[in-house]
Structure formats: structure tokens, C-alpha cells
Structure 1
């Protein structure tokens, strides 16, 4: 038993420490994902060690300290995404009259044919903008029935699981479809006009993940996230970035995105909102994200029921205050800035390549 617990502690330590290595291969970066599962495993190992080891022996105390240290380290990453942490984004006041924007973001899973389930959710929740990922020509044909209610759109049907569609009841200005890092991996950038005439920049992303079936490393994903982050970091106008980022909320890359962009994460202090994998409750992570500038407060954040995809749809409703609020985010240090620059240079992309809809001339 003691030998088995020692081996479990050493394996746990390896899985905990390996992601600290800034090596971008998928088999390293993939360990950013299961921090919650590793924390649960650490709890089990610690309990077994307390029950079945002789703590009068120094070497067995060492084993317990290793496991406990791994548990504390994993909790450091995931606790911000629980109600035990202070909220990063303020809730919208009950008496607020600010204009709001609701975005329903859904990775539909290309081969999935349950389009009616998503259409029913749109009719039920009435979002201002519907964003679909992995949507192809078949999905476009099904979703076009929403065109009367959502007359503004940007469409990019693809059969490579990176198609993207935006349907909006709000006017979209200066829209652009871009392939920032990889051919066949689009992003959509536009200005959405709120009911009071205010305009906000919206950026919708779906970079390819690091995996043996996609990209061997995370270089492409990281570069796309960070080039968008760098493009909006000094923007004083309201900004929203959303989509399936193929990265967990608590990874170093997503944290670096938040630092460089200066955008806020409404999940912090509220919950994980694990959106993937819909079919495996024991292996779920927050892959579908919404980040925004401090011009907004949060009225609603909800994971919606399954539509037959491997992702749950996500609904967020943000209210625009008209000015930046004193809300807490995270700030980059010099090492963060250099790391982001290195990742962008590795893929030969620069912030000025990202379409900035708010800088375009108003027609």
C-alpha cells in the first residue's frame, strides 16, 4: 500500500508540474485542462495517505506533503472559478436602465443534425447575437430561418469543423471575416449597435486546439488569442471577445490573454460553467468563453441545455454602462509582455493585422 501511494504521489507531482514547462506540445499543454480532476485525485490520495501510512516516519510525511502541495497548487488555479472567490465583474443593478446585449455562443458540432434544438433555444432566450462554431452549409440552411428576426449576419460555412456564423438582431457595422493565423480557421470582427445607438466592438474566435488530430503544438492557438488580446489592449471603447477558444479558463495562456488584453472574465467568483464535454460529466472543462472590457456589468451568465453537440451552448447578457467601471482584472509584467510577443512572432502575426471595427470610418 505504501509503495502504491508513493507511486501515486509521484505521478500526481509529475502531472502537476509538467504544465509549468513552457513547452507547447499538445501532450504538455493538454495537462492544463484537467486541473479540477487532478485536484479531486489529490484529495483521494491525501485521504488514503492519512488513513494508511505511518506518519511517525519522515519519508511518509514527505509523501503526504508532496500530495498536499499538488492539491494546493491545483486549487490556486481553479478556486477563482468558484463562488469562494471575489467576483471580477460587478452584477448589473436591479434598477439599471442601461442598454444590454445578449450573446448566445454555440459550438454546434458539424455532423450534429439537431438544429431545431438550437433554434428553440434562440426563440426561448431571444439573444441579440447568435454565434455558431463548426457550422457548415447544412447548418446555414437551417439557421437562415432566423433571418427575419436576425437580419444582420456574417457567414463562413466550412466543412473542416471551423465554420462560423453570426446572426444578429442588432445592426453590425464594419464587419470583417479574417484568417489571422491558419488558413481555414476564421474569426469575425464587427461593431454591434445597441438600442441606444452605442457601438461596441465584438470579436468572435475559434482557434484550433493542440491535439494529435489537429495541431501538434499550441503555437497557433496561442498566437491567435494573443494577437487579438494585443490589438484591444489600449482600446478605450467597449469590447467583447467570445467563442470556443479551445483552452480552459485557468490555463497560463488564457490568463496571459486576460493580462495582455485587460479584459475581464465574468465567471471569476461565480463558477466554472464547464461547456465541454457535454456527454462526459466527469471530464468537463470551460472551453467556451466571454471576455469584455470594464464598460459592462453582468446581468446573466448561463450554460444552456445540450443540443446534441459535444459543447453546451453558453448565454451571456451584459449591460453597457457607458463608461469604464473600476472592476478588478489582472495586469501583465514585463515577462508576460515578452512571452506574448514571442508567441506572436513565432507565427508571424502582429496586432495591426487584426481588424479593428471601431477605427473604421462611420458611413
Structure 2
């Protein structure tokens, strides 16, 4: 067998093993993202491997076994985000929409200036709330026309790709812009009042992505997500957390966030809804998320069309229902996971203070 084939198989095995380590270096954590791509490459390599496999060479058999385990692990990690698994969030059967809330989340890509295309997407979905991230002052000016229909706003435009703009038809109660760990990275927190009179807690976040220039470790990203998760952990009221997490749905951190917060993921049992990269069909994964408490059932969820950004917009409509909590099971942490959350939060705070 070609040594190149063995080397490729071992590279895929290593790419599968590295994210299992509890290290926060960007080049390790970024391997959480392309699980579908790694699995697909592994299956292709496996086919060639089986064709050329020399059963008389023990090392080839050992590498084959590792390759099969690696591909199997990648598939298992993604399996919840397929129609083969039960839905974590049930589809609503309610006919009333007074207690519905709809949200459009759009990472605009700051240098992109296709504002008319985004406004067209807003008209298409007609959401109750619009969250845009990576929005600078140019984008704030370009989107002011939204205020005719969305009179309630919360804005913090920035030229560092972490600006956020929120437009809402629903009244905002105690809207607050916080800087959880870094002064350059805002997050938004508030309640909104539905037409039914019910109040919903809303949290919008956009932490730093792992990269070799500005975030060589994911310590602060992980801590920010988990701090918000801890905030809603014991809350009894209906809650939604959304934004560009710069992390994938199946990562260890997002799993800890979901278990800590007790929030549900409407993608489970439905699909991956890959929102990035809109410009590269071979390298896509879910970075834009909407998690919510078990007070809600799903009306509909869609990935919007490509429009000029490197992110697809995400649209979701949820129904606040009295019996939803009894029909759905929220995730929970065990003691070891709770200690890990505490450790990650403390590490993030320490790094932010340095």
C-alpha cells in the first residue's frame, strides 16, 4: 500500500483525536468545525484503503481500525443533527399566533455593502425582531429605513466586526448592552413583550472566533457563552439566546452551554442548518444559533438565501405554549460537567484581566 494513503488515514485519525483534548489552542478547537468534511474524507480514504489493504501487514490493519473508529466517531457526533434522530423541539400544533415570536439573525460581513439584498430578506420573512452582527456605522445608516416598521431598537455599531444592531416590533424592556469579558465585544440583553402580554428574556451574543491572529485560544469565547448560560440556568421564565457563536453546534463548549443553560436546540432531529461559509459550499458548518427554553415549540425554521455575506441569515419562529414544558426534556449537566463549566469561566475571566 502507498505510504501516502497510510499517512492520509493517520492525519484524519489525528484530526479526530485532537479536539478530544481539553486544550484551547485555536488550531485544535477549529477541528471541531469540519466534522462532515472529515467524515466524508475519511469514507473516501477508507474505500481506497480497503482496496489496497495488505492483510499480511499488521500496521496497515491497525491503521485501518483507527480509521474506522475515527469515521464512526465523526458520524456519531453529527447524527443528532439529522432527521434520523428524535426532534428535541416539537413542532407546534397551536393555531394562535399571539404568543409567537419570530427572529432573523444575520451576520452581514462588515465589508459587504449589499444592504438592499438584506432588506429584501427582511421583507421576505417579516420577522418580529432582526439581529445583525458585524455591523459598523455604514450599516447602521443603511438599515435606518427599518425603523419605520421596527420602532424599538438597540444599537452598538463598531468598526471591529463586533458591532450589533437590533430592530424590533416588540417592546424592549430594560434593554442592556454588556461587555462580558472584553470592552470591544458587546452583547445584548433584554425582555420583550409578546402580543399575548407574555414576557420573554432575550440574549444576543457574538464572541471571538478561533484564529491565529487575534484569538489564538478559545478561552474567552467559551467563557462568554458559559457565563450567559449560567445566567439563565435557574431562570423560570421563557428565554431565547441567539447570535453568531463562532462555534459549531456539536462542539464540547456548545454542548456544555446547552446543558448549563437547559436550553433546547431546534436543529436536533431536523438538520445542521449550516450558516457559514455561504461563499464556499465545501466548507460549511453551523455558526449562527438560536437556543430557547422548553416553554416554546417550533413554528418554522429556515436558512435564508445567500445575499453577499459569508453567512446565510437564519430565521426562526417559535410558539410560547402552556404545555410545552411537559412535552419536552431540557438538557442538564452532571457534577463533572458543572465543574468543567466553572473552570472554563474562571480561566476566561483570568485571561480577560491579563
CA distance in structure 2 between the partners assigned to 1:330 and 1:154 by the alignment: 31
For the residues of structure 1 that align with 2:165 and 2:253, how far apart are their CA atoms?
25
Does the 8 Å contact 2:98/2:194 carry over to 1? no
TM-fit CA distance, 1:95: 3.8
1:56 is displaced (CA, Å) by 5.6
Which residues in structure 2 correspond to 1:9-24 (within 5 Å)?
9-24=9-24
Structure 1 Cα separation of the partners of residues 97 and 131 of structure 2: 26
* Number of the residue aligned with 1:282: 282
CA drift at 1:121: 1.0
Distance 1:117 1:6 in 2: 47
In 2: Cα distance, 1:189 partner to 1:335 partner: 29
| Aligned equivalent of 2:347 | 346
Contact 1:264 1:291 in 2 (8 A): yes
TM-fit CA distance, 1:110: 0.8
Aligned equivalents of 1:75 and 1:160: distance in 2?
36
> Given the superposition, is the C-alpha separation of residues 74 and 144 from structure 1 closer, same or farther in structure 2, using an over 3 Å criterion?
same
Q: Measured at CA, do residues 94 and 232 of structure 1 come closer, stay the same or move farther in structure 2, by a change above 3 Å?
A: closer
Mapped to 2, the partners of 1:328 and 1:73 lie a distance apart of: 25
Say if 2:180 is the partner of 1:180. Answer: yes
Partner of residue 270, structure 1: 270
User: TM-score with structure 2 length normalisation?
Assistant: 0.96
What pairs up with 1:1-363 in 2 under 5 angstroms? 1-55=1-55, 57-93=57-93, 95=95, 99-322=99-322, 324-348=325-349
Distance 1:301 1:325 in 2: 22
Partner of 1:353: none
Contact 2:12 2:42 (C-alpha < 8 Å) held by counterparts: yes
Q: Secondary structure of the residue that 2:93 maps to in structure 1?
A: coil
- Tell me how far apart the structure 2 counterparts of residues 322 and 244 of structure 1 sit (CA, whole Å): 29
Structure 1 vs Structure 2 CA RMSD: 1.4
Alpha-carbon shift at residue 178 of structure 1 (Å): 0.5
Q: Distance in 2 between matches of 1:272 and 1:108?
A: 20
**1:176-211 CA deviation, whole Å, 9 max, x = no partner?**
000001111000001111111100000000001121
Q: Evaluate the alpha carbon distance shift between residue 200 and residue 13 of structure 1 in structure 2; reply closer, same or farther with a 3 A threshold.
A: same
Contiguous gaps of at least 5 residues in structure 1 = 350-363
Rounded to whole Å, the distance in 1 between the matches of 2:297 and 2:126 is 19
Q: What is the Cα deviation at residue 326 of structure 1? A: 3.0
Give the stretch that moved more between structures: 240-249 or 59-68: 59-68
SS state at 1:347 partner:
helix
Q: Quote the offset at 1:57 in angstroms.
A: 4.8
* Cα drift, residue 328 of structure 1: 3.0
Preserved CA contact (<8 Å) 2:98 2:195: no
CA contact (8 A) 1:296 1:325 kept: no
d(CA) in 2 for partners of 1:207, 1:87: 28
SS in 1 for 2:148: coil
**TM-score under structure 1 length normalisation:** 0.93
Residue 54 of structure 1, CA deviation: 2.8
Q: Which moved more, 1:216-225 or 1:45-54?
A: 45-54
